[in-house]
Amino acid sequence: MHTLDELLAESAALHRHLCPRQVLGVQMGRLAAELLSLDLPQRDKRLLTIVETDGCFTSGLSVATNCWVGRRTLRVEDYGKVAATFVDTESETAIRIAPSPTARERAAAFAPDARNRWEAMLLGYQRMAPAELFVWQPVILTTPIAAIVSRAGQRAACDRCGEEILNAREVVIGAQTLCRHCAYGGYYRCCDDADHTLPLAQWTLHMAD
């Protein structure tokens, strides 16, 4: 396992600064390694991490675990919480870790040299023991690990929009194979007057009319 200072430096390099939430992410990843008896940052894809927010916390966690969206070892379920579930895909053990409700207030006791509350969290989170910084519990995933990970490389085409669907994410309804947007709706809807055949130079003018 890399040292705390090494991991914090790597996380800070991604943001050009270090903040308390990055420290939480790094420390949480280090605790997950201990609880699951895994050598992290991982060199394979054994650990799957499901984070409950995005942002700098996730960067610290990714550096500590080597779980990334691009490696298909990190999932984001955006609950707006600085928390994560760590899944050993071999044993199927899953542990959810979150900051202790008192961590923010207690950080100052570990950083008497801090100049303000923000710096107290930045320094205190680095010095607090895991039991003082976090709470954790084993959990059972409501979706099986195999379904979350799916089958990389599998392709299908949506019968409605025609777009390609990767990694077995298609939905079969009756005789149709659909993407999830066409099946259930999604985060966007098409503009009725949008002409996607326009060259980019004309697109801005067209939308301004």
d(CA 107, CA 17): 20
Domain residues of the chain, as ranges?
4-148, 152-208
d(CA 122, CA 25): 12
Four-point Cα dihedral 32, 37, 39, 44, nearest 10: -90
pTM for the predicted model, two decimal places: 0.87
d(CA 156, CA 167): 9
Residue type, 65: T
3-class DSSP assignment, residue 120: helix
Q: Which CATH architecture has domain 4-148?
A: 2-Layer Sandwich (3.30)
> Could you tell me the sign of the dihedral formed by the alpha carbons of 55, 56, 57, 59, in that order?
positive
Cβ count within 10 A of residue 148: 14
pLDDT tens column, 32-81: 999 999 999 999 999 999 999 999 999 999 999 999 999 999 999 999 99
pLDDT tens column, 163-185: 999 999 999 999 999 999 999 99
